[in-house]
Amino acid sequence: MKTIKLKPRKEESILRHHPWVFSGAIASLPEDIEEGERVRVVSADGKVLGTGHFQIGSIAVRLLEFGDKEITDDFFSRRLESAFRLRQTLGLIRQDNTCFRLVHGEGDFLPGLVIDIYGDTAVMQAHSPGMHFERLEIAQALTELPDARIRNVYYKSETTLPFKAQLDPQNDYIIGRFDGNIALENGLKFNIDWLRGQKTGFFVDQRENRSLLEKYSKGRNVLNMFCYTGGFSVYAMRGGALKVDSVDSSAKAAALTDANIDLNFPDDSRHHTFAVDAFKFLADMPKDAYDLIILDPPAFAKHRSALKNGLLGYRKLNAKAFEKIKSGGILFTFSCSQVVTREMFRLAVFTAAAQSGRKVRILHQLTQPADHPVDISHPEGEYLKGLVLYVE
């Protein structure tokens, strides 16, 4: 294995178990080093700090083991077993709940890897060349996980791998084949489209927040903006909403929402889908039409450079909702931009509330669920923020 030496005093974050080595911390790279290789990282004075996957870019190494611990042959089996045990502890593996996130990258000490489970299919995404090269071993370990009964592994890396690396990314079954795609979340059925859908096909990260929404839905007129698969809408229907309108600019997403509503509430006239732009819908809709609004947009700021515009986007979107929501209404508002901190998001929403002149109280402060854990040494793993607001 090749060795990467750091510049003096650049080892501190690694000693505190932060799993990233930035390129600026490296003294020099071995000449023949290749992307995705396993490498050993040492401090300027030769102390072994850890072993990980090398990658060209600002994050140069993603560490898998710290100190002089070797990466053993059963490394992936052990990490996956520990991730599975945690999901069992969380009570997520039940007859009425067959989808959950099994591996959340750094949060499960497997940087660069995401795995979501839908029934007996695992959908796996590599975000690093290193994990891409290890994919077959990981897939094998998945199907051998005791009690997990995973039979199919779908690998979906075309959009997640660094495109410059020319790694021959793949969207295909590594093990098994398609044998059904209906998963259960808290007893509700969802068609999961990992072939054509965004990310792994479903946003399991909103499960707890959807459950909370269900409790507020009774007797309300609900507007689910940026509905994608209609997750929030299906929960609102079960919660006893009077009417539910779902909006997404993508016709494909609107069709997915319709299919999921049909699966759970066939011929229920309370629900309607609109394939239109969210900002246009909010501008055109009459005041007071809704007393429960969900705003769960895509990340408005994917990188730090887009932060200012992103925050402006959140402010404008929320301002529109405050302007239109009925008195006594409840707003569920989210940001999944990793670069937008909890404080920044709250300030953007506060500014929108102040602009609208409405009196607003915070009922709940929401985050990502426990199957998306945050390694305390890696605060960058926290990304989902939400506020539930009561609007006078």
Q: Which residues of this chain interact with ligand SAH, rule CB under 6 A?
A: 203, 206, 226-229, 231-232, 247-250, 253, 277-278, 296-298
Shortest Cβ 19–ligand SAH spacing (Å):
27
Decide the pairing of beta strands 48-54 and 329-335.
unpaired
Angle at 207 between CA 336 and CA 300, to 5 degrees: 15
Decide the pairing of beta strands 113-118 and 121-126.
antiparallel
Shortest Cβ 249–ligand SAH spacing (Å):
4
Q: Which is nearer to ligand SAH, 125 or 206 (CB)?
A: 206
Q: Which is nearer to ligand SAH, 134 or 296 (CB)?
A: 296
Q: Which is nearer to ligand SAH, 55 or 318 (CB)?
A: 318
Q: Which is nearer to ligand SAH, 227 or 293 (CB)?
A: 227
Q: Which is nearer to ligand SAH, 43 or 337 (CB)?
A: 337
Shortest Cβ 197–ligand SAH spacing (Å):
9
Q: Which is nearer to ligand SAH, 53 or 210 (CB)?
A: 210
Using an 8 Å Cβ cutoff, are 114 and 96 in contact? no
Q: Which is nearer to ligand SAH, 75 or 216 (CB)?
A: 216
Of 386, 390, 392, 391, nearest in space to 232 by CA: 386
Shortest Cβ 228–ligand SAH spacing (Å):
3
Tokens 């075309």 belong to which residue? 158
Q: 327 vs 287, 291, 310, 317, CA distance in Å? A: 10, 7, 28, 18
How far is it, in rounded angstroms, from Cα 121 to Cα 129?
Answer: 23
Q: Which is nearer to ligand SAH, 18 or 320 (CB)?
A: 320
Shortest Cβ 205–ligand SAH spacing (Å):
8
Fill in the amino acid letter for 79. Answer: R
How far is it, in rounded angstroms, from Cα 252 to Cα 195?
Answer: 13
Shortest Cβ 389–ligand SAH spacing (Å):
17
Decide the pairing of beta strands 20-22 and 59-66.
antiparallel
Shortest Cβ 222–ligand SAH spacing (Å):
13
Helices 342-356 and 307-324, axial angle in degrees (round to 10): 40
Shortest Cβ 67–ligand SAH spacing (Å):
40
- What are the two backbone dihedrals, phi and then psi, of residue 390, each rounded to the nearest 5 degrees? -100, 125
- What are the two backbone dihedrals, phi and then psi, of residue 151, each rounded to the nearest 5 degrees? -110, -25
Longest Cα–Cα distance in the chain: 70
Shortest Cβ 317–ligand SAH spacing (Å):
9
How far is it, in rounded angstroms, from Cα 4 to Cα 41?
Answer: 5
**Residue 225 pairs with which residues in a beta bridge?**
247, 295
How far is it, in rounded angstroms, from Cα 135 to Cα 156?
Answer: 11
Fill in the amino acid letter for 257. Answer: T
- What are the two backbone dihedrals, phi and then psi, of residue 266, each rounded to the nearest 5 degrees? -60, 145
Q: Which is nearer to ligand SAH, 128 or 337 (CB)?
A: 337
Length of the chain in terms of residues written: 392
Q: Is 346 helix (H, G, I), strand (E, B) or coil?
A: helix
Q: Which is nearer to ligand SAH, 278 or 330 (CB)?
A: 278
Shortest Cβ 334–ligand SAH spacing (Å):
8
* Torsion sign, CA atoms 179, 185, 191, 194: negative
- Which residues, 6 or more positions from 108, have their beta carbon under 8 angstroms from its beta carbon? 79, 82, 83, 86, 102, 373
Q: Which is nearer to ligand SAH, 295 or 370 (CB)?
A: 295
